[in-house]
Amino acid sequence: MTRQEVIAGILVCAEKLGHTPSRAELIEHGGMSKQQVLRHFGTYKQALKECNLERAWYGRQVPMDRLFEDWAGVVRTLKKVPTVCEYDGMSRFSVRPLTRRFGSWLNVAQGMKEYVEKEGLKEEWKDVLELIDQALSPARSTLRTMTDQPMYGPPVTGCPLMFAPLNEAGVLYLFGALSERLGFVVLRVQTEYPDCEAMRVVGDQRLQRVRIEVEYESRNFLRHMHDPAGCDLIVCWENNWPECPLEVLELKSLVGIQRQEIGQDQDLVKRWKSGPLGPRKDRLE
What residue segments make up the domains of the chain, in order of their start? 3-50, 64-142, 168-283
Least confident segment among 117-121, 156-160, 202-206, 234-238: 156-160
What would the 3-class secondary structure string for 184-231 be? EEEEEECCCCCCEEEEEEEECCEEEEEEEEEEEECCHHHHCCCCHHHC
Mean pLDDT, rounded, of the chain: 81
pLDDT in tens, 39-88: 888 777 788 888 887 665 444 567 888 889 989 999 999 999 988 878 87
Angstrom distance (rounded) from CA 211 to CA 234: 9
Long-range contacts of 5-14 (CB under 8 A, 24+ apart): 6/32, 6/36, 6/37, 6/40, 6/41, 6/47, 7/47, 7/50, 7/51, 10/47, 10/48, 10/51, 10/53, 11/51, 11/53, 14/51, 14/53
* In the predicted structure, residue 273 carries a pLDDT above the cut 80: no
pLDDT, residue 271, reads: 57
pLDDT, residue 76, reads: 93
User: Of 217, 174, 213, 215, whose CA–CA distance to 83 is shortest?
Assistant: 217
Compute the average pLDDT of residues 240-244: 87
Angstrom distance (rounded) from CA 68 to CA 87: 12
Assign 212 a pLDDT band (cuts: 50, 70, 90).
very high
Sheet hosting strand 196-203, strand order edge to edge:
184-189, 196-203, 206-217, 233-238, 247-250
pTM: 0.47
Given a contact cutoff of 8 angstroms between Cβ atoms, the answer to whether 50 and 41 are in contact is yes
pLDDT in tens, 133-173: 888 865 444 446 677 788 888 887 777 888 889 999 999 99
Q: What's the sign of the alpha-carbon dihedral 133, 134, 140, 142? A: positive
pLDDT, residue 23, reads: 78
Which helix (H) or strand (E) segment is 233 a member of? strand 233-238
Given a contact cutoff of 8 angstroms between Cβ atoms, the answer to whether 129 and 116 are in contact is yes
Query: How many beta carbons lie within 10 A of that of residue 67, not counting itself?
Result: 22
User: Of 100, 109, 202, 105, whose CA–CA distance to 151 is shortest?
Assistant: 105
pLDDT, residue 256, reads: 60
Backbone angles phi, psi at 102, to 5 degrees: -110, 0
